[in-house]
């Protein structure tokens, strides 16, 4: 059967046990003011009623793919990529949602840019499940450079990006060995072959729910594993970072290890972030870091 003309955009929504949220994500795509797209909802082996939600799909642009077992976000996204026909790929996490003009504004930005630009990202609004006010995050107008991206993921969620498919095909998609930080890893690899730009306004609502046990960003140990894998994978690049960037990265890693109470690594990255400082200053910093960790744990308990 002839599938018809290719859509301009392929939207890929991986999901796992989020039957209560994935329909909201899909509705936000179907409500876009740009209509030439296809949607792939990739069910990554859910054990809830996710599959039953898509038994009677009326919109021909929506396709449901069910994987037989849970393989993780990287392979689930790759499954969608293997079927995508669009020139552009847009990703949406199943617990987030887009504003209606998201696709339009990113496509408009691509039309304004030279051909070597392969990724356009946008800002987002952090929406808290506990009723706290929404907080806005918008990218840096000066742009993102590789040495900044190695320090931390400055682009954010996959829900914010649109990528030219040919660049994703050139990379072979997502690295299936990355169980977390898959987005960050992809951005680093993409930055080696194309340029990035952004739309300077929030076009995604990113829901923060600390009780969602399926969200990888809620599992600090998984996030840490991803960070360590990134450091190992790109060690040759980290070794060449300028001193100030190495210090920024060490502070970032110290904060993550603080959250899980790994004091051996906290101490290591504290020393990396304070090159040349005498021992008394380091001991004072260790005491300060310990107090900071206690305050963090107290705040965690009171907020959630």
H-type alpha helices, 84-164:
102-112, 146-151
Dist CA 94 CA 91 (whole Å):
10
Instruction: Quote the radius of gyration of the chain (alpha carbons, Å).
Output: 20
Q: What pLDDT, on a 0 to 100 scale, did the predictor assign at position 295? A: 57
Q: Which residues, listed in sequence order, are joined to residue 97 by a DSSP beta bridge?
A: 205
Residues of the chain below pLDDT 70: 1-4, 130-131, 133, 140-143, 210-220, 261, 263, 274-304
Taking the C-alpha atoms of residue 294 and residue 138, their distance in angstroms, rounded to an integer, is 30
Kindly state the helix (H) or strand (E) to which residue 76 belongs, with its residue range. helix 73-83
Q: Which pLDDT value is given to residue 46?
A: 94
Supply angle C-alpha 219, 144, 108, rounded to 5.
100
Which pLDDT belongs to residue 56? 86
Q: How many CB atoms lie within 10 A of CB 295?
A: 9
Domains for the chain: give ranges and CATH numbers: 9-208 (3.90.550.10), 216-303 (no CATH)
Return the number of other C-beta atoms located less than 10 Å from residue 129's C-beta: 12
CA distances from 55 to 14, 46, 117, 139 (A): 17, 15, 38, 39
The pTM score is 0.84
């Amino acid at each position: 059967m002839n599938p018809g003309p290719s859509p301009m955009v392929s939207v890929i929504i991986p999901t796992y046990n989020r039957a209560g949220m994935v329909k909201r994500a899909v509705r936000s795509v179907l409500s876009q003011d740009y209509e030439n797209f296809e949607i792939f909802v990739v069910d990554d082996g859910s054990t809830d009623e996710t599959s039953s939600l898509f038994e009677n799909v009326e919109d021909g642009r929506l396709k449901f793919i069910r994987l037989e077992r849970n393989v993780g976000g990287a392979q689930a996204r790759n499954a969608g990529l293997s079927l995508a026909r669009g020139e552009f790929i847009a990703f949406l996490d199943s617990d987030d949602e887009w504003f209606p003009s998201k696709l339009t504004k990113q496509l408009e930005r691509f039309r304004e840019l030279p051909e070597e630009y392969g990724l356009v990202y946008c800002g987002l609004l952090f929406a808290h499940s506990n009723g706290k006010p929404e907080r806005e995050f918008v990218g840096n107008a000066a742009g993102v450079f590789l040495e900044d991206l190695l320090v931390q993921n400055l682009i954010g969620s996959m829900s914010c990006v649109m990528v030219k498919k040919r660049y994703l095909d050139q990379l072979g998609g997502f690295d299936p060995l990355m169980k977390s930080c898959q987005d960050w890893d992809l951005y680093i690899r993409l930055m080696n072959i194309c340029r990035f730009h952004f739309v300077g306004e929030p076009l995604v609502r990113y829901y923060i729910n600390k009780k969602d046990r399926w969200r990888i960003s809620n599992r600090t140990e998984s996030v840490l594993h991803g960070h360590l894998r990134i450091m190992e994978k790109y060690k040759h690049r980290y070794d060449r970072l300028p001193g100030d960037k190495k210090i920024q990265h060490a502070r970032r890693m110290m904060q993550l290890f603080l959250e899980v109470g790994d004091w051996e690594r906290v101490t290591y990255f504290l020393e990396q972030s304070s090159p040349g400082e005498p021992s008394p200053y380091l001991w004072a910093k260790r005491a300060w870091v310990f107090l900071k960790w206690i305050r963090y744990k107290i705040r965690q308990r009171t907020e959630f």
